[in-house]
């Protein structure tokens, strides 16, 4: 089978590709495993770091029809749609956010529809589809109420995935990801970027500014665990999905203060002391709209798991993703 991963040059896309290569197969609509013969990584830049003859890379704008033409030139059996303009940038650049996050998703679904083979599509949605007055623990059937452009774009795409699935054009499912941390590399324009930065930068000997209060509670997941959840969500039979075809991916509910405490237990007081609280109203306003905890019963029933603790997430980063000093 041929798997297309949009956003494939990113950290998460490359981790997903590597996990799929190790597995070697994915369950199809009939529940039986099918051998993965080809993975295409499509992104704004060429993908690197996945050296395997089964992997090819396409660079270009996902909102550009030419890139989609190339991506769907041969048979495509399944799609992991990860590509997106991140939350902070989607909020500050309205037109770009809607073009990439919504228009390009519709164009991708249209390519799937044109194949007339009902390819399976796992869309990476976000907990940002929720906002406003929410219960302390969000149930699986909570009505979406986005309070940001990014959340609105993800909510619109969830409806698109559902409708294309209802019509039989795709075998679609939307997977609402928690904030993924700890991501290696440099900070990006996501409002949640600090959730990685306050761990990653202090461990690298650099001061990290935290734009929200220590009491701010977040819904988090590690890179390794979210990759497993993406695969579990992809393999889930359509009959096991809720009517919305949208699933809240399990995570852990942790305050920023607890995150810093976990860093202290792993790396000591000096490292944790590099986290400096410096309020940013724009980021804080976005983060405050996000839910803090979920039931995620459907996700767990589909085989998705959670991390043991935030300390375990920090140790995972140190052992597997943190650059090694010479």
- Catalytically annotated residue among 150, 164, 234, 317: 150
Which residues are CB-contacts of 284 (< 8 A; sequence separation ≥ 6)? Answer: 211, 212, 213, 216
CA gap 166, 170 in Å, rounded: 8
Q: Where are the beta strands (DSSP E) in 195-321?
A: 208-210, 217-221, 246-248, 252-255, 275-277
State the Cα–Cα distance between residues 270 and 321, nearest whole angstrom: 21
State both tokens at 307. 């991390």
Cβ atoms within 10 Å, residue 251 = 28
Secondary structure class of 179 (helix, strand, coil):
strand
Q: What angle do CA 163, 249, 140 make, to 5 degrees?
A: 65
Measured over the CA atoms of residue 82, residue 42, residue 193 and residue 314, the dihedral's sign is positive
Asked if 234 is an active-site residue, the reply is no
Q: Which residues are catalytic?
A: 150
């Amino acid at each position: 089978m041929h798997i297309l991963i949009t956003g494939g040059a990113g950290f998460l896309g490359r981790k997903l590709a590597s996990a799929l290569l190790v597995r070697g197969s994915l369950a199809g609509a009939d529940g039986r495993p099918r051998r993965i013969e080809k993975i295409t990584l499509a992104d704004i830049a060429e993908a690197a770091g996945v050296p395997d003859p089964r992997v090819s890379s396409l660079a270009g704008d996902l909102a550009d029809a030419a890139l989609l033409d190339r991506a769907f030139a041969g048979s495509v059996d399944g799609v992991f749609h990860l590509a997106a303009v991140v939350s902070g940038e989607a909020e500050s650049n309205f037109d770009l956010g809607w073009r990439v996050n919504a228009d390009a998703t519709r164009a991708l679904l249209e390519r799937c529809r044109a194949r007339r083979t009902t390819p399976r599509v796992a869309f990476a949605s976000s907990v940002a589809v929720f906002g406003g007055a929410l219960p302390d623990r969000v149930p699986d059937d909570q009505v979406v109420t986005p309070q940001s452009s990014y959340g609105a774009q993800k909510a619109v795409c969830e409806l698109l995935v559902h409708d294309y699935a209802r019509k039989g054009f795709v075998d679609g499912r939307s997977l609402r990801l928690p904030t993924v941390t700890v991501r290696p590399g440099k900070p990006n324009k996501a409002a949640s970027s600090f959730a990685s930065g306050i761990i990653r930068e202090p461990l690298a000997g650099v001061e990290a500014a935290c734009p929200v209060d220590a009491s701010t509670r977040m819904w988090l997941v590690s890179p390794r665990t979210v990759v497993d959840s993406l695969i579990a969500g992809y393999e889930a039979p359509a009959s096991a999905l809720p009517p919305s075809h949208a699933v809240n991916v399990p995570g852990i509910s942790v305050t920023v203060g607890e995150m810093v405490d976990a860093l202290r237990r792993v790396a000591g007081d000096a490292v944790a002391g590099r986290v400096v609280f410096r309020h940013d109203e724009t980021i804080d306003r976005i983060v405050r709209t996000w839910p803090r905890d979920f039931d995620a019963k459907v996700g767990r029933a589909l085989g998705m798991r959670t991390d043991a603790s935030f300390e375990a997430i920090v140790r995972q980063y140190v052992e597997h993703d943190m650059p090694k000093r010479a």
